[in-house]
Structure 1
Amino acid sequence: MKIVPLDPTRSAAPSPSEPDWPALMRRIAEHQDREAFGRVFAHFAPRLKSYLMRTGSSDAAAEELVQDALVTVWRKAAMFDPAQAAVSTWIFTIARRLRIDAARRHLLDGAGDECFEFDHLPADQADVADHADASRQCRRVRDALSRLPPEQAQVLRLSFYDDEPHARIAAELGLPLGTVKSRIRLAVTHLRKLLES
């Protein structure tokens, strides 16, 4: 599918016959409804592409990211929770995360090396003492994490190591958002005490 850009002269006001997006998402999640997905795709693809290009993606990269985002919507439609976010917020969050991941991959693959003068950077190789200290600290954190209650360790790993937003953690674990936030706060407090002892 080719993504058609938004017409800039078109009014941004929603039409009176705005689709029931949560209902369309339910149809996609429960019945793999291609017609519902087609409507979601037709509405959101040009908006996502416009957003991605405004945030610095090239035309081709934005096109690819939109395709990836909407494939994710198709595959993970069952994870959408209208109590947590609007359909548009959920879809744009998926696109944003994919854009961030793509930017990280771009840097890790060395595609941006020509932008940096690495010869002018100060040496940052840790000496043996620094390396040993970092290893010790890593072991302490790992040990402290293993001593947390399992439900606290789980939300902490999802939030800090997997960089998942709280709403997504709540959706994945089937918990209220407030419970996830409370567990993370408790886990951080508990972890701090364990590391200070």
Structure 2
Amino acid sequence: MGQLQYYSDLIIKVANDRDRAAFAELFDHFGPRLKGYLMQQGSDANVAEEIAQDVMVTLWRKADLFDPAKSSASTWLFRIARNRRIDRLRRQKTATLDPEDPSLQPAPPVDVANEMDARLRDERVRRALESLPEEQREVVRQAFFVGLSHSEIAEQTGLPLGTVKSRIRLAFGRLRQTIEADDAVDVD
């Protein structure tokens, strides 16, 4: 299962079952990312934290409004964060809004060709990951989907650090070969 689908499924669990474990996982993953995004957009750390928490409360309360056919979990949550930031700026009497501020501009229309390319690329990567041996797939999952460092993976699995690095390097080599082979087939 792809990461995008995984987080969408978690939101659906929150919507349908009020699944606290799913919500906790979403909070742990998206909370810091939303805060970082908001700080990049000009919010100070405290305001970014408040807005990020507000977004996660909105997720809990309105998860049933999420439609995975219309957007990914991250797109949905970051759009809510963007809108909350704009609303907050508008409420501040002393804040002057710059109409040219990129965060106030509507999102560009979705490029259907790019969206289709991205979906095909995601599917290729998903198939390539599934073709890896289990021990390589697991270290790649921990490094890139869970976000663990190589040292943390070694600690959790009991493997030597060099073995973890070797497995990741071997996995990337196999992924590259598989994806390049898929690209060659698509060109033919």
TM-score normalised by structure 2 residue count:
0.48
Q: Which has the larger radius of gyration?
A: 1
Q: Greater share of helix residues, 1 or 2? A: 2
